[in-house]
Each structure stands twice: as structure tokens, then as C-alpha cells.
Chains A and B, each alone.
Chain A
């Protein structure tokens, strides 16, 4: 879908993008990176809003950057900035964007209503955009990005300013568009749980360099396949039993066990062995599943490879406010240690 390489962009003495090469497959792709890592510059370069000093490739099969206006016809962009056309009411604003993308007048208006229904914008569509709340403006920008039915959506912080219900609804829409309507989506965000919940693959930028780029399922694999086992009461007897059976075992902060080596055993045998060892040590197992690396861990590992980011801990401060849904190991506890 997107395959570009050798992208360089400098602002004066600052390298915003250095030899960036990305290959984005259909599906939802998370674009992550600390502040100033070059995410917005990369998006703007893709859309031809800024000119890169070098770089070439294809976007949706069209040569980039030579055919950037053709590409823009096929892309829906939700900017991070609070932007709107002053004086227009919501429905006019979406219909205007439809017309700018080449939809005829009547069709543009009909389509605008349809998309605003999809985005759950009700009677507010007849109010001036300047009076919209932040959340409403996000929904409006989403509707504007979607109104011309583009095969590729680039969403820059789409859930910023949304309350939990609206955020959940927005992510649900993104999933629907990708899964049911075959849209490819690039999701640039700081909210890692959003990426974890909807993205198939991840690109992590730091210091203008692509640090990580792969499928999320691959990235979240631990170096040694590991089971995460939660027990009721003291986990030590079960841990000792597993070690005696040749497994590598460590304990997490919440008292759960991380058992490496168990995954390599056949699925049926694995379960029966675990239940057998638990019975022998008189331990009750509450829950067990395959342990995965959290996105937060992947992100921190990637971002810290940039010395500038590593020296400025404040750049990662936003991570403290984001809640991880993963139950993977914490960064300071390695499996089998």
C-alpha cells in the first residue's frame, strides 16, 4: 500500500527525517514516536504538504512524490491540529470537503449526512463549527477525512479530547472501516492502548529514524516463549516444581509466574502437565495465558535507542498517563532471571 524509502527532510540544521523507509501493508498501522520524532513531518511529506529533500516510492500504486495530488485524492487526512473553516456549520463543512475532493454538489451533501450519521454527529451538524467542543471537532474531522470514501486514512491523534465512551466508539469505527470495508489506516497517536487495540502493525519513529517496523503480533513475542500463570496464594511451590521439571521461572510484581519452556510443550500436554503440577503442589491456578511483550515496552525499547530521547526523560512522560492493557513483564524483570 505504501512503500517509500530514502526519505530525508531537514529544517535548517535539524534532521526531521533521516533515510526513512517504510512499507505499510493493508490494515491498521500504528505510527508511534515521542514528541518531535518526525511523525507529523512524515505524514505531511506523504501528502506532499512538505517537500522532502529526497525519497521515492509508491503510495497506493502511484509514484510518490511525483503524483502527490493523485494520491491526495485517495487519502483521507485527519490532522492533529484544531482546524476548521470559520463560519461554516458542521454539515456544510463536511459537504465542502466532499466537493473539494470532486464529489458533485448533491452527492456531496448526501454523503456528508450519511457520514455524519456514521460518526454519530446528530443535530449538532447544523451548528457553527466554531462552537463545537473538542470531542465534536474530532468527530467532524473524522467525517471530513472519510467523506470521499478514500481507501487510505491517515489519522493523526484521532482520539485526543474524546471522553472514554467516544474514544471507544472512535476505535470501534476504525476497526469497522478496516475489517468490514477494507480501508487501510495509519494511526498516529500517543495513546498506546489505542494502538494495541486496533493496529495490526506498528512503526516507531525516534529522532527522525524508523526504529521499529513490524507486525504487532511479531513485535510482542518474547525472546523465549513464555506462559503467564496467576495462582491463588503462594506461587513458590508451583515455581519450585516447574523449575524441577526444567522450566525457567520468574515472578512478576503481582505475584504471577512467568514460565518459559512450557509453551514448547504440545498444547494438550501443556495444560494437563500444568494442572498436574498445580495439584501436586496444592496450588490453585486462577488464570494462565501466553505472555507477550507490552507495546509500552516495545515503544520504550525503541525510543531509548535515540540518544536524544534517552537523555530527555520528559519526552516519555506521556507514557505514565497511558494505561497498558497488556499483562506482560515489566521492563526491569526479564524472563528466566
Chain B
């Protein structure tokens, strides 16, 4: 018998509010996941792209005095990010283009490195959240306490919201702050004050539907590997399907898209070799298939493209054709449907 064994004693303290119970579920889940070393490493690595995009903002801010940096950034915007208009406006109206350049860089930060990190992170965390509870029948422990299924789902979702925020919203906000501190003066805040809010909006767009979808897969099975496989398959198959359908459609209508060339038809292009009219010509010279293809129709097959469309809309820079509403409706449907399935699956388990 332990030295301090006092036998049974009652407890008469004040209890926390019922509204705090989802927080307990969330904290428990976060603490459990945080013990995994690979996860901590992954989060550290997912912050590295901040350096790259921070350098981009720095180059933009000092391109007024260092034209060479403006050329490098212009080429990046024109040919890698498909924003030649923005590349041209850097030199034409440096201050006026600030908002768009920052927003484009931060959107790209969301769309490319962080979205891939998100897919990987959610794929490795989410299946554990509900699958493990189903396998170990932990739901009996949860629901014998004053916890409703809705609170349970909120608590589990909050685990993912927390980790996804650490790789999206927080680094993006830090990137914004880095931009502010690297700027020549603090007047840039007046021009870019809305970007932090757009970052938060884009985070919600990214985090909420993906969490619902991941928890939905997790609730389908007590074997977490099946949930993991389904998650990655959804992203991979969606992306492949979208790429194949749009590319093959373009090929059938007018051949493959042409890579942009320099003015003399050879060599690497430089954005300042083109003027606005030439960019318009490039667009009009695109193969007919690419120019008139209804990409919006196929976009809904790919969560990556659907999220990208809505995130672009949130940042106010959506260069792709088609309305954003089908994508928004699709994300809402995924969220509502996913959460409904999770709740239904949990209630079904309790009835056995």
C-alpha cells in the first residue's frame, strides 16, 4: 500500500462549465499527437518556406533601388506564378502593386508548400483521431461523461485545426510581419492591412473542409491505415483526374500548350522583354482548347484545385476563369456531409 494512501475521500470542488469539455478533448488529442517526434520535425520543416517567400517580399521592397532584384522577382511572377501583369506593374507602379505582390506571394505560400504539408500532416494525424477511438471503444469513455457527440467532434476537429494553423495561418502571419519589418517604412501597413484578415479567411477555407473530410474517413473504419489511404487517394486521384481531363481536352482541341519563349523565339524569356499587348497576344495564341476549356467543371473533381480557387478568391486574386461559387458550394457540401457522417457513425456505434 502506498505511503500516502488515504483511502477513499470525497471531492466537493467547483466543476468547469460544460462548454469547456470540447477543449479537454482537444488538449488531450494535441498532447497525444505532439509526443510524436516525426510530427515536430514535420512542423519545423513546414516553416522553412517562409524564408523563400520572405526573400521574395524583401526583393520586391528593394526593387525600387535595386532593379536587378525586380527583374528576378518579375520573371518569377510572370512565368512561374502566371502573373505577367503583376510583373509589369512592379516597375510601372511600385507602390500600387505592393498589395497584389504580397497577396500573390502569400497565396502561393498557402497553395504550394503549405497545402502539400497540410495533406501530409492531416493524412498522418487525422486517421488516429477517431479510428483509434473506435478500435479501443474509447467512445464509451467519452460519452459516459457529460459530453455530446457534437462536442466530441468539435474537440477532435480542434486537434486538426490547431496543427493546421501552426503550418498555415501562423507562418503566413509571420511572413506578413517579416514583410512589414523588411519594408523601407511602416507605411506599408496602410496598404496591406487587409492581408492578415485574408490570411485568416484562407486558413478557415483550408482547414474546415479538410478537417471534416479527414474525420469522415477516420470514422469509417477502426483500421486507421484505410483512412490514411483514402485520404491520400482522394488528393492524388482528384489531382490526376483534373490534370488528365483538362490537358487531354486541350490536346484534342488544339495541341499542347506552348512554353513562352524570348522575343526572338529562343532562349529563356525575360518579363521586361514583353509589353502588355504581347502578353495578351500570348494568351490569344494559346491553343483553342486551353483558351475556351471549361476548367471550372473539372475543378470540382480535385480538392486541390477547388481549395485553390476559393483561396484565390479570398485573397482577391483569382486569375482562373469561371465562377467561384461552385467551388464554395462544393467545400460547404464536403464540410456538412463529412460532419454529418462522423456524427452518424459515432451514434451508430453507441447503439450497439
A334 interface residue per 8 A CB criterion: no
- Chain A CB within 10 A, most for which of B6, B137, B145, B350: B145
B138 near A75: Cβ-Cβ < 8 Å? no
B43 interface residue per 8 A CB criterion: no
Q: Which residue of B lies closest to A116 (CB)?
A: B2
A75 near B144: Cβ-Cβ < 8 Å? yes
Which of A93-101, A230-238, A241-249 touches B?
A: A93-101
- Chain B CB within 10 A, most for which of A75, A83, A100, A103: A100
B241 to chain A, nearest CB (A): 35
Contact of A83 among B1, B13, B136 (CB under 8 A): B136
Count, A-B residue pairs, CB within 8 A:
115
Contact of B138 among A85, A115, A176 (CB under 8 A): A85
Which of A22-30, A42-50, A307-315 touches B?
A: A42-50
A16 to chain B, nearest CB (A): 10
Would you list 28 pairs from A and B whose C-beta atoms are within 8 A, ordered by A residue? A49-B350, A50-B350, A72-B144, A72-B145, A72-B146, A77-B140, A83-B140, A85-B138, A85-B141, A86-B132, A86-B133, A86-B138, A87-B132, A88-B28, A96-B28, A99-B16, A100-B21, A100-B25, A100-B142, A100-B145, A101-B146, A102-B146, A103-B13, A107-B11, A114-B6, A118-B7, A130-B136, A181-B10
Complex Cα spacing A69 to B5, Å: 32
Q: Which residue of B lies closest to A41 (CB)?
A: B351
- Chain A CB within 10 A, most for which of B135, B141, B351: B141
Contacts of A75 in B (CB 8 A): 144
A36 to chain B, nearest CB (A): 13
Contact of B32 among A87, A102, A122 (CB under 8 A): A87
Complex Cα spacing A97 to B6, Å: 21
A85 near B136: Cβ-Cβ < 8 Å? yes
Q: Which residue of A lies closest to B6 (CB)?
A: A114
Complex Cα spacing A172 to B27, Å: 36
B266 interface residue per 8 A CB criterion: no
Q: Which residue of A lies closest to B10 (CB)?
A: A149
Where the two chains meet, the residues of A that have a C-beta atom closer than 8 Å to any C-beta of B are 11, 44, 47, 49-50, 69-70, 72-73, 75, 77, 79, 81-88, 96-97, 99-104, 107, 111, 114-115, 117-118, 120, 122, 130, 144, 146, 148-149, 173, 176-177, 180-181
Contacts of B350 in A (CB 8 A): 44, 49-50
B11 near A79: Cβ-Cβ < 8 Å? no
A144 near B146: Cβ-Cβ < 8 Å? no
Contacts of B139 in A (CB 8 A): 83
B137 near A83: Cβ-Cβ < 8 Å? yes
Contacts of A107 in B (CB 8 A): 11, 13
Complex Cα spacing A88 to B138, Å: 12
